[in-house]
Structure 1
Amino acid sequence: MASVDPFDSALDLLRRLNPKHTADHLNNIITLNPSLAEDLLSSVDQPLTVRRCKQTGRDYLLCDYNRDGDSYRSPWSNQFDPPLYDGVGGAGGVGAGGASEGAGEGAVPGERVRKMEIKANEAFDVYRELYYEGGVSSVYFWNLDDGFAGVVLLKKASPSGDATSSGVWDSIHVFEASKRGRHTNYRLTSTVILSLATKGASLGEVDLSGNMTRQVEQNLLAENDESHIANIGRLVEDMELKMRNLLQEVYFGKAKDVVGDLRSIGTLSEGQRERDTQRELIGSMRR
């Protein structure tokens, strides 16, 4: 009998547990098997966490792409919190010997990619306000051998003062941009984590939680760095619109149909009278 891979077993278990509590389930599995920590944290999408930048006072989102151990890099100040290397490192927690390319392990993007990261954060901050009317957004870039990559994070939660209902939307858009002549190849993987809950005397308790992942790949003309920001913005905007419509029309529509079939607003006697009337009409049409 072939041995079971612990990593595959952990992923299989997480798929069967309530996605609303993914972070807690993930921590429990890592506690049981610490050797799976890095692989699980880089493979499993979990609800985004908000932290405030100590240098700028602005909120930013935490994910595996701006993490080094227990420290996270702010896109606003380019600094890690808590600081890395006991405060000896350079900007962004990079050692004094030079900038570190790529994501993870104290890395910050190179100068050109960092400038694009700053512009992307400004652009998606406007996008967040227009589409979400609040919430938090963060964008992180890193260098690749033949281009660059990044992640766009968006989070919107309902006001915490409402005790009867709650809702959280987390969207994670990971992309790679590779130069192909005059065009650039963009590969985008988008994940939406949605959690909705309400309770009351008339409705009872309802909890809808889940996640959805979609991918797209396009070759687009990019004449300069500003073109990259515009292309990424259009790809993310189109993907979010498609996923929002899919959630509304397919998932919520199906849930509404199921609830409508299981629960009737009228009484049993009214339902029986309607069925009797229907049978009489059908019988009279056959005569």
Structure 2
Amino acid sequence: MAADPFDSALDLLRRLNPKHTSEHLNAIISLAPDLTEDLLSSVDQPLTVKRCKQTGRDYLLCDYNRDGDSYRSPWSNQFDPPLDEGGVGGVGPGGSEGAGEGAIPNERVRKMEVKANEAFDIYRELYYEGGVSSVYLWNLDDGFAGVVLVKKAATPGTNTEGVWDSIHVFEAIERGRTTHYKLTSTVILSLSTNVEGTVGDMDLSGNMTRQVEQDLPVENDDSHIANVGRLVEDMELKMRNLLQDVYFGKAKDVVGDLRSVGSLSEGARERETQRELIGSMKR
């Protein structure tokens, strides 16, 4: 049986360097234009920063605030470049489905979006001490959904470069006094260094995706922001610890096995001393 082109494209992207996901994705789209929308909505790419013309504040671009080549700012709620017309996000009459397609959240969800952006702006400053964050919400039939984006890049102009992109997509299905939250989190990490005389050139890149579902009590709309905030905070802590163990710990072990800190002559003398000690103990 012939392989499905979409599955093949995803399988190929999983095997390529995640640091260059955008370039690889554009190359695949140029070969298979019919897969454009499916791939853009399914593949997490490193986040791009844009400045809001109305407020002068930076915000992040992703597929959830995109309509063609236009992106909606969470600060002004306007698309740039402007669209001919936009609708209330959500499934139903008079609304485009979910995010994108010129979707603008209704009044209630937009108020939550504004408060969520303010809350995660504080969270970003406390945890990352810089960077850019954006939150986008849209309507669902039985609740709402959204995405929390955080990007932090190392100070440019140094020998060390690093970029952290975290993408947290969630659904909130309202059930009276409780809400069922489903969170899917992806972290894209890219680190590189070029220090002459020590480690030389090193490039460490990877991504990780985790998912969690939980029912939490809700008193009002502010409770949604607090609940999503706790879920995102807990997930980022877990994923940071996993990345430290999987990527940094494994890289340290590999480098330690491949490269000796001391000189070869010192190592030879130490091994000779060990042999003499073992020989004397046997005698």
d(CA) in 2 for partners of 1:118, 1:92: 16
User: What is the 5 A alignment of 1:99-138?
Assistant: 100=96, 102-138=98-134
Alpha-carbon distance in structure 2 between the residues aligned to 1:15 and 1:99: 35
Is residue 2:153 matched to residue 1:174?
no
Q: For residue 34 of structure 1, what is the aligned residue in structure 2?
A: 33
What residue in structure 1 maps to residue 265 of structure 2? 269
Q: Secondary structure at the match of 1:251?
A: helix
The alignment partner of 2:262 has SS state of coil
1:237-276 matches, within 5 Å, as 237-276=233-272
Shift of 1:136: 0.5
The one-letter amino acid paired with 2:155 is P
Contact 2:87 2:96 survives alignment (8 Å): no
Q: When the two structures are aligned, how many residues end up with a matched partner?
A: 280
Q: How does 1:41-60 map to 2 (within 5 A)?
A: 41-60=40-59
Indicate how the Cα distance of structure 1 residues 8 and 98 shifts in structure 2: closer, same or farther if over 3 A, else same: closer
> Which residue matches 1:67?
66
CA RMSD across the alignment:
2.0
Letter in 2 for 1:185: H
Contact 2:87/2:102 (<8 A) preserved: no
| Percent of residue pairs bearing the same amino acid type | 81
Query: TM-score, structure 2 length as denominator?
Result: 0.93
Greater displacement, 187-196 / 6-15: 6-15
Given that residues 88 and 105 in structure 2 are in contact (C-alpha distance below 8 angstroms), is that contact kept between their aligned partners in structure 1?
Answer: no
Q: Which residue is 1:82 aligned to? A: 81
CA distance, structure 2, for counterparts of residue 6 and residue 209 of structure 1:
26
* Deviations 1:130-160, CA, capped at 9 Å, x for gaps: 1111110000001111111100000011122
User: What does 1:88-99 correspond to in 2, within 5 Å?
Assistant: 89=85
Q: Is the 8 A contact 1:73 1:92 kept in 2?
A: no
Quickly say closer, same or farther: Cα 1:9–1:99, change in 2 above 3 A.
closer
2:179 aligned partner? 184
| Alpha-carbon distance change, 258 to 133 in structure 1, aligned in 2, over 3 angstroms | same
Structure-2 separation of matches of 1:62 and 1:92: 20
Question: Given the alignment of the two structures, is residue 207 of structure 1 paired with residue 203 of structure 2, yes or no?
Answer: yes
CA distance in 2, matches of 1:146, 1:286: 78
Q: Give the counterpart letter for 1:167 in structure 2.
A: G
CA deviation after TM superposition for structure 1 residue 280, in Å: 3.7
The alpha-carbon deviation at position 84 of structure 1 amounts to: 1.0
Specify the alignment match of 1:279 in structure 2: 275
What is the deviation of 1:281?
A: 3.6
Aligned to 2:22: 23
Aligned partners of 2:52 and 2:87: how far apart in 1?
A: 15
* Stretches of structure 1 lacking an aligned partner (at least 5 in a row): none
Measured against aligned partners, the alpha-carbon deviations of 1:9-38 in whole angstroms (never above 9, x if no partner) come to 111111121111100110111111110100
Structure 1 pair 233–276 and aligned structure 2 pair: CA distance change class (3 A):
same
Instruction: Give the 3 Å change call, closer, same or farther, for CA 180–98 of structure 1 in structure 2.
Output: closer
Q: Residues 142-180 of structure 1, C-alpha deviation per residue, up to 9 Å, x if partnerless?
A: 111111110000001112222x22111100000111123
